[in-house]
Amino acid sequence: MVFVFRLSGALLVMAACAYFAMHMSRTLERRKLELRKLYSILLQLKSEIRYLGEPLPDCFRKMAVHAKEPFAEWLSGLADRLDSREGEGFGRAWLAGLSDLQSLSAMTREDLEPLSELSDKLGITDAEAQLKAIDYALLHIERNRTILENEIGQKKKVIATLSMFGGFMTLILLL
């Protein structure tokens, strides 16, 4: 009987470790996908500013219609925040929106760092300066994505190995 309990405990530990490894790998895949989507959202924002010259809340609302989660929620929340005109400037609203996005997505703080630099550059008179700032953010996002793509296979292996190793160690300690 004791053996059966021990065996089921061991299986549970191993299953939990495998689940953890899978979850971590999926998060990495999600992060890669979200970085790609973020890149295309910024490209869209750039063309909205360059060709349509629409105000930012309108751009965000329009992009929210076509974007998938978590970006749709982030963009529409940002548009609402700007339209409410509760005394906070664009910079504060943008940064608050980014912190919402981080909590909703798999992206890290470092991934969103290039966007936070846009807080004092969007909405100004000079459209060209804004486009350059967006280009700069795009460059960083692309670089982060390339690094992640290069490392993702290796990272997944490390996660799987460490999880299994952790599982075995736990088993040894328990048994």
Partner 1 sequence: MTKREEVLKLLSAPVRRAIEGTGLDFDQLQEIRLRTEEPLILLYRGEEVFLSRAGEMLTGERDAYVVEAADVKETLDHVSSFSLYAFEDEIRQGFITVQGGHRIGLAGQVILEQGRIKSVKHISFLNIRMSHEKKGCGREILPYLFENRQICHTLIISPPGCGKTTLLRDLVRLLSDGSDRFRGVSVGVVDERSEIGACYRGIPQNDIGIRTDVLDCCPKAEGMLMMIRSMSPVVIAVDEIGQREDIDALSYVMNCGCHILATVHGSSIDDIRNKPVLRRLVEEKRFKRFIVLSGKGRPGEVENIFDDRGSVLYPGYT
Residues at the site binding partner 1, with contacts judged by CB under 8 A: 49, 53-58, 82-83, 85, 87, 89-90, 93, 122-127, 130
Smallest distance, partner 1 to C-beta of residue 160, A: 46
Q: Which is nearer to partner 1, 28 or 49 (CB)?
A: 49
Smallest distance, partner 1 to C-beta of residue 107, A: 24
Q: Which is nearer to partner 1, 123 or 166 (CB)?
A: 123
Q: Which is nearer to partner 1, 48 or 111 (CB)?
A: 48
Smallest distance, partner 1 to C-beta of residue 154, A: 42
Residue type, 108: T
Q: Which is nearer to partner 1, 89 or 153 (CB)?
A: 89
Smallest distance, partner 1 to C-beta of residue 19, A: 44
